[in-house]
Structure 1
Amino acid sequence: MQTPVPVLMTSCPVVAVEAVVSAGFPSPAADYVEGRIDLAEVLVPHPSATFTLRVAGHSMTRAGIHDGDLAIVDRSLTARHDDVVVAVLDGELVCKRLLIRGRRMYLMPETDDPSYRPTEVTDRPGFEVWGVVTSTVRLHRR
């Protein structure tokens, strides 16, 4: 089981640009500089209850969560239907979408790979939600 890494809060201000960016032809954005935003404040609203985990695997790609992404997980939030959660399942940490249907709960993968199957976790021993994934970080330049 991977050990959660606590998030240490430090300020991380970056320039905020109030513009829509096209993924096609580039457009200069210098006229749209709005000020600064603090990424630590935006990504980690509850620092004492937040940790990060590195995602391994491909079961959540349709949710935009890919192998190697850094998941930011907030333990202060109560998991709700359709949240992406980190949970302990039979001693292993997993990242899946939580579906609640009536009194039944399921951990659902989000992938086109049929080898990943939903898992019912209703009243299952060895199941515990550790936290809600509030965002992920993916590096595009290696």
Structure 2
Amino acid sequence: MRNYQIYWIEELFVQHYYGRERMFYQLFSDWEASTGDLHDIVSKQVDYITKPIPYLPTQRLLQHEITKVEGAAWINSVATIEREESGATLVLNEKSMSLNAWGHDESEYIFFEILRRNMGQLLAMDIKNERFGWLKPIKQRKFIY
């Protein structure tokens, strides 16, 4: 099973740390593993670099896009896609989205594609399996000399 946390990162940090996603991964994995005062400090850092997920627009977007997908449903802020050999659920939270997927990776890619097409600056992380990355990488300018 794959468990992704998806965060909307502030534009300033996206621009500065693009290509160094491992630093974000390290911060979030430290946050998950920490306790006590260290957890409070790291929580403040995470709050500073993330933006709240715009709940109603994201909910409307997912409801609209999910209706186009076979085997998909929207129930109480949870989007679900179930296929014969795979599935995924996406839960909206205030500061993040949680994506739990099993089986083949087809279902999670459907959710990633919906979010990639419609929202920017989203970073997905599966701390347990050390998988992380931008859903919509920023385009680099190419200068000709």
For the aligned pair, the TM-score class normalised by the smaller chain equals under 0.3
Please say which structure displays the higher CA radius of gyration. 1
Higher relative contact order (CA closer than 8 Å, sequence separation 6+): 2
Which is richer in strand? 1
Which is richer in helix? 2
Relative to the length of structure 2, the TM-score reads 0.22
